Structure 1
Amino acid sequence: MSKKEIYLVEDSSDFRQLLRGIFTKFLPEYHVRFFQGGQELYQYMVFQSAEQFQGRRPALIILDLQLPNINGVELLKLIRQTPGNSETEWKTIPAVILSGSTSQDDINHCYQAGANSYFVKPIDFEELQTLLKTLCRYWIDYNRLAKAGVPKQILR
């Protein structure tokens, strides 16, 4: 069974290194593709949306809120508006925010832009490890997504 792909957007190299260590040591069943900013992720998404793309498809997208150039809210809007293909439906891929901000306005804006969840970055290492494990287990292992390319029908 191949590893499930996670896209993680974080501009802090120190925090990316910490996250990389947690995934390598404690969550090796997931493959994480790190992006330094929103523009980098968006360019990759456009490339990946081509029908001939043969790489891994994301099962979860984790975003920082405070990013250079394209912030997390703007990036969420782009993710939700990006056309999919027969394999990837960007609108349905879980996208969660992992931010240092506790502002209710930030939280509200993220949900309005299409976030599935909002989490404040824990200060404690073990709490961060537990949060990441819980996030991955829920959104990747237990949650079920609509299949890309299936016509949406109205239930009566």
Structure 2
Amino acid sequence: MVNLTSLIIAEDDADDRLLIEDAMNDNDIPSDCIEFVDDGDKLIEKLAEFKDKPVIVFLDLNMPRKDGRQALKEIKEEDQFKHIPIIIFSTSSNEEDIKTSYKHGVNTYFTKPSKYSELVEIIATVKSYWWDKASYIC
């Protein structure tokens, strides 16, 4: 079971950030372990701050400056970051985005749902796997 210190959510849309945080709270994931960033550059900076702590990243593909595609590739090429679990959480259901994300080392890929209840269910699935079942050591 993960002793989760931080969950970093790279999401540029304020409404999506609020919905994700609410869904996390509905799944008993405390807000104080969630950090939000709004682009890939800020994500890389935040990861450097959490260098010695277990962390999981929710990554949107479509963000300004450095997008999720670029950030994923950079994270998985860096020895200090490549072990970090990355969960793509994007509006894109484009087959090429999905294939490329897995090619670059993403752990799983979710297309953002249109219903809040489905979002809560996705977060529950992630929590069940990463918090309750997976073994993870940073």
- Per the shorter chain, which TM-score range? 0.7 to 0.9
Pick aligned residue for 1:131 from 122, 131, 134: 122
- Is 1:27 matched with 2:24? no
**Whole-Å separation in 2 of the counterparts to 1:27 and 1:77:** 31
Pick aligned residue for 1:42 from 36, 44, 58: 44
Pick aligned residue for 1:117 from 103, 108, 111: 108
Structure 1 runs of 4+ with >4 Å offset: none
Count residues in correspondence. Answer: 135
The residue type paired with residue 74 of structure 1 is Q
**Correspondence for 2:62:** 66
- What is the CA distance between 1:3 and its match in structure 2? 5.3
Normalising by structure 2, report the TM-score: 0.86
The residue type paired with residue 45 of structure 2 is Q
Tell me the percent identity. 27
Normalising by structure 1, report the TM-score: 0.77
Pick aligned residue for 2:73 from 57, 70, 77: 77
* 8 A contact 1:4–1:29 mirrored in 2: no
Unaligned runs of 5+ in 2: none
| 3-state DSSP of counterpart to 1:65 | coil
For 1:96-111, list aligned pairs within 5 A. 96-111=87-102
Unaligned runs of 5+ in 1: 85-89, 149-156
- Alignment RMSD: 2.0
More helix by share: 2
Higher radius of gyration, 1 or 2: 1
**Correspondence for 2:14:** 13
